[in-house]
Amino acid sequence: MQRIILAVVVGMISFSAVTAQTNNKLVAASIARGKTVYLQRCMVCHQADGGGVPKLNAPLDASTAVNGSDISKLVKYIVKGLNDRIEIDGEFYANAMPAADDLKDQQIADVLTFIRSNWSNKAGPVTLTQVKQIRSKLK
Partner 1 sequence: MKKVTPISVFACLFISVLLSAISTSAQNIKPDADNAGLTLPTGFAALKVADNVGRTRHIAVNKQGAIYAKLERLDNGKGIVVLKDTDGDGRAETKTSFANYIGTGIAIKGNYLYAASNKEVFKYALNENGDIVDENAAATIVTGLIDKGQHNSKSITLDNAGNIYVNIGAPSNACQEKDRTKGSMGMMPCPILDSAGGIWQFKVDQFNQSYANGVRYATGLRNVVGLDWNNQLNQLFVTQHGRDMLNNLYPEIYDTTLSAELPSETMYAINKGDNAGWPYVYYDHSKGKKMMAPEYGGDGKKTVEDKFINPAMAFPAHMAPNGLLFYTGNQFPARYKNGAFIAFHGSWNRSPLPQEGYYVVFVPYENGKPTGKWEVFANGFSGKTVVKNPRDAQHRPCGLAEGPDGSLYVSDDVKGTIYRIMYQK
Binding stretches for partner 1 (CB under 8 A): 39, 41, 43-45, 47-49, 51-57, 59, 81, 83-85, 92, 94-99, 102
15 vs 92, which CB is nearer to partner 1?
A: 92
61 vs 67, which CB is nearer to partner 1?
A: 61
Which residues are CB-contacts of 8 (< 8 A; sequence separation ≥ 6)?
none
DSSP one-letter code for 61? T
Kindly state the smallest distance separating residue 4's Cβ from partner 1, in Å: 59
Kindly state the smallest distance separating residue 49's Cβ from partner 1, in Å: 4
34 vs 59, which CB is nearer to partner 1?
A: 59
Strand ranges (E), 81-135: 86-88, 91-93
Using CA of residue 136, residue 129, residue 31, residue 121, what is the dihedral sign? positive
Residue 72 to residue 53: CA distance in whole angstroms? 24
Kindly state the smallest distance separating residue 75's Cβ from partner 1, in Å: 18
Which residues are CB-contacts of 82 (< 8 A; sequence separation ≥ 6)?
96, 97
43 vs 65, which CB is nearer to partner 1?
A: 43
Residue 2 to residue 119: CA distance in whole angstroms? 48
Kindly state the smallest distance separating residue 133's Cβ from partner 1, in Å: 25
CA neighbor of 50 nearest in space, from 104, 120, 1: 120
Kindly state the smallest distance separating residue 109's Cβ from partner 1, in Å: 21
34 vs 50, which CB is nearer to partner 1?
A: 50
